[in-house]
Amino acid sequence: MPAPMPDISRQYQRREQLTMLALAFPALLMILLLVVLPVGWLAWQSIWHDGFTLENYRRILAEDIYWRSFALTFEISLTVTVLAVLLGYPIAYAASIVSRGWSIVILALVVLPFWTSVLVRAYAWLALLQRTGVINQLLRQLGLIDAPLALVHNTFGTVVATLHILLPFMVLPLYATMQKIPRDLLQAGASLGAGPVLTFWQIFLPLSLPGVLAGCTLVFVLSLGFYITPELLGGGRTVMVSMLVSRNVELYDQWGAASAVGVVLLLAVAAIFFVVSRFVPLDRVLGQR
Partner 1 sequence: MNMSRPYRVAFVLVCVLVLLYLILPILIIAPMSFSGARYLAFPPPSLSTRWYQEYVGNAAWMQATRVTLTVAVLTVAIATPLGVAAAYAVSRSTWRIMRVIHITLLLPLVVPIIITAVGIFFVYAKVGLVASLTGLVLANVMLGLPYVIISVVAGLQSFDATQEMVARSLGMNRLRSFFAVTLPQIKASVIAGGIFAFISAMDETIVALFISGGQYQPLTKRMFTALRDEIDPTIAAISTLMTAASFMLVLIATTRRKDS
- Can residue 193 be called a binding residue for partner 1 (CB under 8 A)? no
Binder to partner 1 among 159, 174, 258, 280 (CB under 8 A)? Answer: 258
Q: Which C-beta is closer to partner 1: that of 155 or that of 245? A: 245
Chain Cα centroid distance, residue 222 = 3
Binder to partner 1 among 60, 76, 80, 110 (CB under 8 A)? Answer: 110
Least Å from the CB of residue 228 to partner 1:
6
Please name the amino acid found at residue 87: L
- Can residue 235 be called a binding residue for partner 1 (CB under 8 A)? no
Binder to partner 1 among 211, 234, 256, 262 (CB under 8 A)? Answer: 262
Three-state DSSP class for 48? strand
Q: Which C-beta is closer to partner 1: that of 155 or that of 203? A: 203
- Can residue 16 be called a binding residue for partner 1 (CB under 8 A)? yes
Q: Which C-beta is closer to partner 1: that of 155 or that of 163? A: 163
Q: Which C-beta is closer to partner 1: that of 71 or that of 119? A: 119
Binder to partner 1 among 82, 87, 139, 213 (CB under 8 A)? Answer: 87
Binder to partner 1 among 117, 202, 206, 237 (CB under 8 A)? Answer: 117
- Can residue 74 be called a binding residue for partner 1 (CB under 8 A)? no
Please enumerate in sequence order all residues whose Cβ is within 8 A of that of 71, keeping only pairs 6 or more positions apart, or say none.
none
Q: By 3-state DSSP, what share of the chain in percent is helix, strand and coil, each rounded to 5?
A: 75, 0, 20
CA distance 74 to 80: 10
Show the binding pattern over residues 200-229: x = contacts partner 1 (CB under 8 A), - = does not: x---x----------------xx-xx-xx-
User: Using an 8 Å Cβ cutoff, are 42 and 35 in contact?
Assistant: no
# binding residues, partner 1 (CB under 8 A): 93
CA distance 192 to 199: 10
User: What is the four-CA torsion angle of 161, 164, 165, 167, rounded to 10 degrees?
Assistant: 150
- Can residue 57 be called a binding residue for partner 1 (CB under 8 A)? no
Backbone angles phi, psi at 144, to 5 degrees: -85, -25
Show the binding pattern over residues 127-146: x = contacts partner 1 (CB under 8 A), - = does not: xx-x-xxx--x---------
CA distance 44 to 54: 11
CA distance 68 to 60: 10
Backbone angles phi, psi at 153, to 5 degrees: 65, 35
Candidates 55-63, 64-72, 82-90, 208-216: pick the segment binding partner 1 (CB under 8 A): 82-90
